[in-house]
Amino acid sequence: MSPRFPPSGRRAWVSAAAGAALVLAAGLVVSLWPGGSYPAMKAGCDRSELFVAGGTDVSLKNQRRALIRQWNEGRYPGGRPHPHATLVEVSESTDLQHSQIKAVEESGGCAYDVLIMDNTWTAQFADSGYLRPLDGIENLDDFFPAALRTGKRDGELYAVPFNVDVGLLYYREGVTPPTVWPGLLSSDVATQLADYEGLTVNALEAVWNDGGSGRLTGENRPSEDDLRTRVYPALARLAARAHGSLAASRQYEELESIEAFASGTKLMRNWPYAFSALASEPRMRDGTRLRFGVTALPGHTVLGGQNLAVSKNSPNPDAAADLVAYLSGTNSQRLLFACGGFAPGRYSALGLSPGHGSPAGVKVRTCSSLTGQPLGPGETDVPDEAQLTQLGHAVLTALGRAEPRPVTPHYTTFTSTFRGCVQKIFDGAGTDAASFARAVERSLDGRTASC
C-alpha cells in the first residue's frame, strides 16, 4: 500500500489570557527540548545559546533544521565559531504559534532570540515593542519587494522574508488547468475551507477574484458599504460552491487537501511546499516522471509566508541578527527551495537579478548539486531541475498577482471574526450583509464582534 499523508491536527484558536498562554508555551517548549530542560526559560538570561522559535518544520527533509545545523557548524570570518542555535518548534498551528510567542514576548521573557513569524504579525509585534529593528541585512533589493514590505512597519524594517507563500494550482496528469476563477470553482478541486487560517486565505482569494478586488488587503480599509455590497456577495457565492463542488473542502486543511489530490481529485489549490511533498509520494510518480503539474492560481492570490525577526528581549541581539542574515541569505534560500520545497524570498535564489523577475529567466539547481552529497544507488533527484524550474515559474507568476492580507495590529481579531462570519454564511445561519459588514469593520480595529 502506498504511504499516505498524515492528517494534521485540528487548529484550535487560543483565547486564553496571556499568563495562561505563557504557561502553555513554557510547557510545550520544555517538551520539545531534550531532557526536559530549556535553558532560555530559566530566570537568568546569561547565555550565548540562540533559540529560534517557529512552527513545526514541514519542509521536505526538514530543511529548516538542516540550515540550523549548518549554522552551528559554520564560522565567522577569522575562524570564530558561530554561537550554537536551537530550533524550537512551538506548534504546527499558526494560531497557537502566535499565541505562545506573543505570550512570551509580552511577559518580557528572554526565551527566544529569533522569531519565525507569519508575515501578518509584523504590525502587532512591532507596535507592541516585541521586535528589534533590523540593520545591516545585505542586498535588501534582492528580496521580492512585496515580501519585503510585509516586514516593515511605519518605514522601519523589523523582519525579512524566510520563505514566501503564494496560491498555486496543482493539476493531475492529463487535466487542463482552468485559467479563470469561475472555471476553477466549478471544477473538481480540493482547497482549504476548514475553520483555521486557511479559510481566511481562501475566502479572501474568492472575494478578490469575484467583485471585491482591492478590498481587505494591505492598509486599505474598506468601508461598511464596500463590505456589504462587494465582499459579502462574493462570500455568498462562495457559500453556494461550498455546498456543491467545494463541499468536501470544508473539512480540508493543507494536508487533507494534498491527500485528496493524491487520491484522485483533479485539481488542488495549495502552497508551494506541496510540490515537493507530492513529488515524494509514490502515487504521484512514475519513476522520475511526475503525474501532476503546477501553475499559478488564476487571478489574485494571498501573499503568505514566514519572516525572520529578532526578539526585543534577546540576550544576544547581534548574534541573532547574524543568524537572521544567514537564514535569509541566497545560499540558505536556494537550499530551502531545492531541498525543502519552500519558495524563497530572494530573486537570486531563483537565478535572477534583483528587480528582474521574469518567470522565463528562472535558473535553479537540484538539491544534490547544492549540497554536494552524492546520490545513493538507484536514487535520483526528484524534483529535478526541470521540475523545480516549473515550480519557480509558477511561484514568480503568482507573486505578480499576490496581495497581502489586511495590515493591522489587530489581525488575530480580524481573522477569527472574519472566518467565523464566513462559516455562518456557509451554514446559512442567518448572517445578513449588514451584520457581516459591522462585525468585520469592528474587528479591524480590534473590537470584539461576531456575525
For 361, the grid coordinates are 529567466
What are the pLDDT digits (tens) for 334-349?
999 999 999 999 999 9
Does residue 219 sit in the same domain as residue 272? yes
H helix runs in 186-242, sequence order:
197-208, 224-226, 232-242
- Is pLDDT larger for residue 375 or for residue 9? 375
Q: What percent of the chain has pLDDT over 90?
A: 78
For 319, the grid coordinates are 548574534
pLDDT beyond 80 at 125: yes
HEC string of 154-199?
CCEECEEEEEEECCEEEEECCCCCCCCHHHHHCCCEECCCCCCHHH
Question: Across-strand partners of 53?
Answer: 88, 115
The CA–CA distances, whole Å, from 317 to 4, 131, 323 equal 42, 10, 10
**Cβ-contact 311, 132 below 8 angstroms:** yes
Among residues 321, 338, 355, the one where a domain terminates is 338
**Cβ-contact 101, 39 below 8 angstroms:** no
**Cβ-contact 39, 29 below 8 angstroms:** no
Q: Is residue 395 part of a domain?
A: no
pLDDT confidence bin for 355, thresholds 50/70/90: confident
Pick the closest to residue 172 from 254, 286, 61 (CA basis): 286
Q: What is the CA radius of gyration of the chain?
A: 21
> Which residues have CB under 8 Å from 434's CB, separation 6+?
228
Q: Is residue 295 part of a domain?
A: yes
- Is pLDDT larger for residue 45 or for residue 410? 410
What are the pLDDT digits (tens) for 157-196?
999 999 999 999 999 999 999 999 999 988 899 999 999 9
Least confident of 32-46, 114-128, 305-319: 32-46
Q: Give the DSSP letter of residue 227.
A: I
**Cβ-contact 149, 346 below 8 angstroms:** no
Does residue 182 sit in the same domain as residue 231? yes
Q: Fill in the amino acid letter for 261.
A: F
**Cβ-contact 427, 240 below 8 angstroms:** no
Q: Is residue 398 part of a domain?
A: no
Least confident of 161-175, 185-199, 358-372, 388-402: 358-372
Among residues 317, 338, 359, the one where a domain terminates is 338
Q: Count of alpha carbons within 13 Å of 38, Cβ hemisphere only?
A: 22
Does residue 254 sit in the same domain as residue 116? no
Question: Across-strand partners of 115?
Answer: 53, 309
Does residue 277 sit in the same domain as residue 311? no
Does residue 232 sit in the same domain as residue 191? yes
Does residue 140 sit in the same domain as residue 63? yes
Q: What percent of the chain has pLDDT over 70?
A: 90
Does residue 273 sit in the same domain as residue 142? no
74-109: burial string, b at 16+ Cβ within 10 Å, e else: eeeeeeeebbebbbbbbbbbbbbbbbbbbbbbebeb
Q: Is residue 348 part of a domain?
A: no
pLDDT beyond 60 at 267: yes
Q: How far apart are CA 220 and CA 334, in angstroms?
A: 34
Question: Cell 471544477 maps to which residue?
Answer: 187
382-398: burial string, b at 16+ Cβ within 10 Å, e else: bbbeebbbbbbbbbbbb
pLDDT beyond 60 at 78: yes
Q: Is residue 195 part of a domain?
A: yes
- Determine the Cα angle at 257 with ends 230 and 13, to 5°: 65
Does residue 270 sit in the same domain as residue 314? no
Q: Is residue 372 part of a domain?
A: no
Does residue 281 sit in the same domain as residue 190? yes
| Number of folded domains that form the chain | 2
Does residue 291 sit in the same domain as residue 155? no
Q: Average model confidence (pLDDT) for the chain?
A: 89
Q: Is residue 380 part of a domain?
A: no
The pLDDT value given to residue 15: 28
Ramachandran class of 232: left when φ > 0, alpha when ψ lies in -120 to 50, beta otherwise: alpha
Does residue 245 sit in the same domain as residue 322? no
What are the pLDDT digits (tens) for 273-290?
999 999 989 999 998 899
Q: Which domain holds residue 39?
A: 18-164+305-338
Q: Is residue 354 part of a domain?
A: no
Question: Cell 541578527 maps to which residue?
Answer: 321
pTM, two decimal places = 0.89
Pick the closest to residue 350 from 375, 324, 330 (CA basis): 330
Q: How far apart are CA 396 and CA 331, in angstroms?
A: 19
CATH code of residue 156: 3.40.190.10
Pick the closest to residue 83 from 25, 137, 36, 40 (CA basis): 40
pLDDT beyond 70 at 8: no
Which SS3 state, helix, strand or coil, does residue 258 take? helix
**Cβ-contact 288, 197 below 8 angstroms:** no
Least confident of 60-64, 378-382, 400-404: 378-382
Does residue 179 sit in the same domain as residue 276? yes
